[in-house]
Structure 1
Amino acid sequence: MKERTARVAVVQAAPVLFDKKSAMDQIVSRSKEAAAQGANLIVFPEVFLSGYPRGLYFGTRVGSREASGRQDWQRYWSSAIEVPGEETDLLGELAEELGVYLIIGVVERDREYSGGTLYNSILYIGPDGNVQGKHRKLVPTGSERLLWGQGDGSTLTVIDTPYGRIGGLICWENYMPLARTALYAQGIDIYITPTADARDTWQATLRHIACEGRCFVVSSNQYATKASYPADLACYDDIRDAPDVLSRGGSAIVGPLGDYIVEPLYNEEGLLYATLDLSLVTQSRYDFDVVGHYSRPDVFQLTVNTKKQRIVRQEEKSPSCSDS
């Protein structure tokens, strides 16, 4: 049976960069705090586990890479998690204990192939203790492409919950109109947008998506300072002269007609709470349903490749006549 309301909590904080224990400890403490306030859905920022390395060059310039940057990337790789893995088991136990959905941005280490690629991913962990869905960022932005590989259409994930259908995209992939359409076509009700963008223009994006998709939009960003960066990073000089506040935040919650339910939080850590009335999603689609009565499939169509992409495909050899 569907619930008519959902209590959502949005975390605005940052772990110690490249420190898996710091991130896990914060996830536990923040989740328990939110659950005590009645939260059903708890949303953490982009790559919260184990951090968004804003301002670091990783020793890279066009045409060359430095050993110091490779050392820091190794450290980042070591702080990533595998899905499934030890950390997802612990997070599943936490979600089951609290009876909540945990939606967490993670740095995912892929061990299916070489083990040398990281992904910027969202995990959806249910109150049953299981990873119910995962999304990998389709296109890392700018210099992020040095850190993370590209996801594919197999993780354009929307999960069905008692609180409606939940999914989302990460930061600037929300500027990809076809990716948004692929989610709208899955009947999304609560749209999650973990981000590292603290600019005013990001708020316009949140409100546009809410109006376009006629859905709730829940955006979580990190509030990060230089104090969260280990001083022994090989590339620490990259941020030594940077302002103390590296990301001012801007987490917010927007209703399905584009109005703020909770306005952006800036320049501090915090938890944002809202009770979402899911009947407002239905009401908002009365005059605009982007993949329903306001679409024109006779004019426009989108084809989405949801197959997992592999560089090597093993195929069984068909028996020849001489083999029979």
Structure 2
Amino acid sequence: MKSRRVQVAVVQSAPILFDKQSALDKIASMTKEAAGQGANLIVFPEVFLPGYPRGLSFGARVGSRTVEGRKDWQRYWESAIEVPGTETGMLGELAKEFGVYLVIGMVERDQEFSTGTLFNSMIYLGPDGSLLGKHRKLVPTGSERLLWGQGDGSTLTVINTPFGRIGGLICWENYMPLARTAMYAQGIDIYIAPTADARDTWQSTIRHIACEGRCYVISCNQFATKASYPADLAYYADIQEDDDILSRGGSAIVGPLGDYVVPPLYNEEGILMATLDLSEITQSRFDFDAVGHYSRPDIFQLIVNDKKQEIVQKKFK
């Protein structure tokens, strides 16, 4: 019996917040390190480029914003990237150099309709250097909604690879049952779940998804400390009383029956490595297949709008 195997690497790290070059440098160095250990697929955390602004208020309260907070946000906006764009081209060349698939969380600046909106996105790059696809977070969580816009169903992306179908959702999107079902229905084998959630309950979430989807789950979080925050931010004081470790990580890899392939890593930077045997997915679906023999389409049906949503409909003669 022939088995399909792939070596995966999960990067748990953080760049200097709002510093695009710092993020690009870390992506390059850690891709080189992971590829040197034999990785075929390398995953970076939620908005790794240019970082997750945990703890910052940007001067926003209900009913008011401040001039200083707007300037902090402008700094975040300036460190965002366009997809496709110069930076995605550079990252594509990196993937090509090492012959790997790269999945990277990033802050994306809209370039089609309004340059004033940012998205929490992740991109997929192939070993030939091509941009294979992207996903925009459907619903930013809590205060994130002031930073990022909402994605739509056109980026519920699953990609064919020689070792299986890869795709995923970002952080608390994974608590959306219908969004998960939309991913399962595309035959996902390796489910990528970048997050900013370092709580113990997140581990329950990713293990449940693995059991439910009968897929491998790769969860990737940042390890971030105060040292990664520029001290000249207008609202740096927001984190001054916080612990030095702002995000303890918790990246992990889970198998299709819900058991850890690699247990969560906490309180340090690192790269998690594992060889995944995709034949175990086939075996796991023997007694449960959420969108196959365990579905009841005569009772339950999901309608997914996968059309790109446009506020302006352009019509030309």
TM-score bin, normalised by smaller chain: over 0.9
Matched, 1:302 2:302: yes
Partner of 2:118: 118
TM-score, normalisation: structure 1 = 0.97
Q: Counterpart of 2:48?
A: 48
Alignment partner, residue 90 of structure 1: 90
Percent identity, aligned pairs only, is 78
Deviations along 1:107-140, one digit per CA (max 9) or x if unpaired, are 0000111200000001000001011010000000
What's the counterpart of residue 215 of structure 1? 215
SS at match of 1:132: strand
Letter in 1 for 2:272: L
Q: Is the 8 A contact 1:190 1:215 kept in 2?
A: yes
State the alpha-carbon separation in 2 of the partners of residues 102 and 128 from structure 1: 11
Q: 2:3, 2:279 within 8 Å by CA — same for their partners in 1?
A: no
Runs (4 or more) in structure 1 with deviation over 4 Å come to none
Q: Residue in 2 aligned with 1:170?
A: 170
> Aligned partners of 1:313, 1:231: CA distance in 2, in Å?
44
1:225 aligns with 2:232: no
CA distance in 1, matches of 2:59, 2:194: 27
Alignment of 1:68-147 (within 5 A): 68-147=68-147
- 1:14-53 equivalences under 5 Å are 14-53=14-53
- Aligned counterparts of 1:87 and 1:316: Cα–Cα separation in 2: 32
What's the TM-score, normalizing by structure 2? 0.99
Tell me the secondary structure at the aligned position of residue 194 of structure 2.
coil
The Cα shift of 1:304 comes to 0.2
CA drift of 1:90 comes to 0.4
Equivalent pair of 2:3/2:277 in contact (CA under 8 Å): no
Query: Deviation at 1:315?
Result: 2.6
Deviation per residue, 1:239-266 (Å, 9 max, x gap): 1111100000000000000000000000
CA distance in 1, matches of 2:95, 2:243: 36
Secondary structure of the residue that 2:50 maps to in structure 1? coil
Higher Cα radius of gyration? 1
Distance, in Å, in 1 between the alignment partners of 2:14 and 2:47 is: 10
Quick one: distance in 2 between partners of 1:21 and 1:267?
A: 24
Which residue in 2 is equivalent to 1:249? 249
1:275 corresponds in structure 2 to 275
Distance of 2:242 and 2:211 partners within structure 1? 36
Number of aligned residue pairs: give it.
316
Q: Verify the 8 A CA contact 2:157 2:168 in the aligned structure 1.
A: yes
Unaligned runs of 5+ in 1: 318-324
Structure 2: which 5+ runs fail to align? none
In structure 2, the residue corresponding to 1:145 is in which secondary structure? helix
After superposition, residues 143-154 of structure 1 pair within 5 angstroms as 143-154=143-154
1:311 maps to 311
Per the TM alignment, residue 167 of structure 1 is displaced from its structure 2 partner at its CA by 0.2
RMSD: 0.9
Q: Residues of 1 paired with 2:90 and 2:289: CA distance?
A: 39
One-letter amino acid of the counterpart of residue 27, structure 1: I
Distance 1:316 1:299 in 2: 44
Match of 2:261 in 1: 261
Tell me the distance in 1 between the aligned counterparts of 2:308 and 2:120.
16
CA contact (8 A) 2:117 2:148 kept: yes
Equivalent residue for 1:320?
none
